[in-house]
Amino acid sequence: MTKIWFITGSSRGLGRSLTEAVLASGDKVVATARDINTLIDLVERYPGQIHPIKLDVTNHDEVYDAVADAVAHFGKIDVLVNNAGFGIIGAAEAFTDEQVRSQLETNLYAPIEITRAVLPHMRKQRSGRILQISSVGGRVGNAGLSMYQAAKFGLGGFTEALAKEVAPLGIFVTSVEPGGFRTDWAGASMSYAPTIEGYEQSVGMRADFFASGKFVPMGDPDKAAKAMIELVNSPEPPVHLVLGSEAIGMLKLADEARRAELEKWLPVSLSTDHDESENFLETEAGKAILNIR
């Protein structure tokens, strides 16, 4: 059965690769972008399969208008892919107020609001797939990426909670977490905070490396697109899907460090329980809070 996809940020990078792969598979795409002229070649190549919509994902009214337009045009939305976003590097104290706001508005608030706009339609049809394009940076923190990763960590938490919330409705939600892929994320689309003294050995090294153009990611966006199409067709999709060996390596090291830290400080952690407390996992409250059945 033909699926209807709603993909934000369709004009470049991973979003472009996914849009092309979905169209080639025979499905239909509502492709959003700030400049839909960048999608003209796809409209000509796949007449009737693609419906471009001009969308600034940070504009509340445009978001709801775009979702309504999509449903009016194709009749439904089967798959939502919140892909639009951009990166920024700098010391946490160096970012301008506008840079902080734009990161959170684009990389966190926007996917939350677009998801909220699409959910009523998926709830009524009792089916749907939602892919939040996050990052391994939503699981592992690195110097220089504090604002970007604050948004991605938030998106990961939203995804985990939402996945449990909508599962009874036949809706599956996955946080897609790539490492470095050969898009312009670290190139033309990367922005920088003002440079300030004191961060040369942490933030400065990362910023200089990205600005040098020497960073060659290992990930192939076309292969990532194929993986996401397979994900959407899986009867049991994961809540987190990590993409790329680079991301896997980073995540394994981070998990090992977190486990070691947890064990080291475990006596302190356990010492704060009330003397009359029970085993949390065995209590009714614990089972309810953690969704243990």
- Catalytic positions: 134, 148, 152
Q: Is 194 left (phi over 0), alpha (psi -120 to 50) or beta?
A: beta
Tokens 């923190």: give the residue.
Answer: 141
Using an 8 Å Cβ cutoff, are 221 and 181 in contact? yes
Using an 8 Å Cβ cutoff, are 144 and 187 in contact? no
Task: Assign 52 to helix, strand or coil.
Answer: strand
* Neighbour tally for 275: CB within 10 Å: 4
* Start-end of H helices in the chain: 13-25, 40-45, 60-74, 97-104, 110-125, 146-166, 205-212, 221-232, 245-264, 266-270, 284-289
**Contacts of 65-71 spanning 24+ positions with Cβ under 8 A:** 66/30, 66/32, 67/6, 67/114, 67/117, 67/118, 67/121, 69/30, 70/4, 70/6, 70/30, 71/121
In the chain, the N- to C-terminal Cα span, in Å, equals 34
Rounded CA-CA distance 153/147 in Å is 10
Give the torsion sign (CA, 88, 93, 96, 100).
positive
Residue (of 1, 49, 50, 56) closest to 33 by Cα position = 56
